[in-house]
Amino acid sequence: MQQEADAEGGFPWGWIIGVLAGLLAIAGGWIAWQRRAALAPPPLIEKPIVPAAGEAMLAGLAGEKLRYELELEVEGVTRSVMMLTIRYHLTVSNRSDRALRDLAIHADLTTARAGAPTEAQLANDATSLPLVETIDRIGPHQTRTLRGTVQLPMQQVSPIYRGQHPMLVPLIRVRAEAPAAETKVQTFMAGISSGMSGGKLLPLSLEGPPGGYQGVRARALA
């Protein structure tokens, strides 16, 4: 009878029942998914990784130039017929929180010239100095002391006269540089301590036979 009703133009009950059955299946699946979602544990939210304070500080410092200081002391000065020789030790103090690496030390010896401007006699960034020593590493806030010798032929010495007395003012010029550090260029004057306050140094005499000088000290020039 049902087939006859469909054929005679009545409602298509078979098609409607099929659609309803499909909708019920979809609804049942959605309800089951909702139940599984309700029973499932909440998703794990990972805490973002933030660098530690120390790591952040080091990362910031990585772009900064390392700081260090130079201090030079004279161990001895001798004058021969041919050569003026100064023995020294140079102390490098690392003032940074990172190791100072691959530090190159350049140095030479010259003398002050009467009448020449002071600025022209001091070493600067354009002054070419011979390499005398390299330091592989100086730890954070540590020091390293180097011993060395600089010489100058006597024919290149420029005497400075005090009345009729020829005098000598040695200048030790130093340049220090490293890939991650600031470049330092300093000039140290050598002379005999006057014993007066303020560290005033006296020139070395060129009179008399060759030999050594006693009480010679060094002072950094600005």
Beta carbons within 8 Å of 22's beta carbon, 6+ residues apart:
none
> What is the extent of the structural domain holding 12?
2-39
What pLDDT band is residue 195 in, cutting at 50, 70 and 90?
confident
| Residue 110 confidence (pLDDT) | 95
Max mean pLDDT range (35-49, 59-73, 178-192): 178-192
Q: Which of 208, 145, 150, 143 is nearest to 174 (CA)?
A: 150
Beta carbons within 8 Å of 146's beta carbon, 6+ residues apart:
89, 90, 91, 92, 105, 133, 135
Is residue 123 assigned to a domain? Answer: yes
Does the pLDDT value for residue 86 go beyond 70? yes
What's the total number of domains in the chain?
2
Is residue 103 assigned to a domain? Answer: yes
CATH code where residue 117 lies: 2.60.40.10
Q: Which of 147, 149, 153 is nearest to 84 (CA)?
A: 153
The pTM score is 0.71
Judgement on whether residues 133 and 201 belong to the same structural domain of the protein: yes
| Residue 119 confidence (pLDDT) | 79
Lowest mean pLDDT among 12-21, 146-155, 207-216: 12-21
What are 8-63's pLDDT values in tens digits? 445 454 544 454 445 445 445 545 555 665 555 555 555 555 555 454 455 445 56
Average pLDDT along the chain: 82
Stretch 182-203: mean pLDDT: 88
Judgement on whether residues 15 and 91 belong to the same structural domain of the protein: no
| Residue 56 confidence (pLDDT) | 42
- H helices of the chain, in order, are 2-7, 13-39, 53-61, 118-121
| Residue 209 confidence (pLDDT) | 94
Is residue 155 assigned to a domain? Answer: yes
Judgement on whether residues 77 and 187 belong to the same structural domain of the protein: yes
Lowest mean pLDDT among 65-69, 97-101, 150-154, 190-194: 190-194
**Between 73 and 38, where is the model more confident?**
73
| Residue 121 confidence (pLDDT) | 86
| Residue 218 confidence (pLDDT) | 96
Percentage of the chain exceeding pLDDT 70: 70
Is residue 8 assigned to a domain? Answer: yes
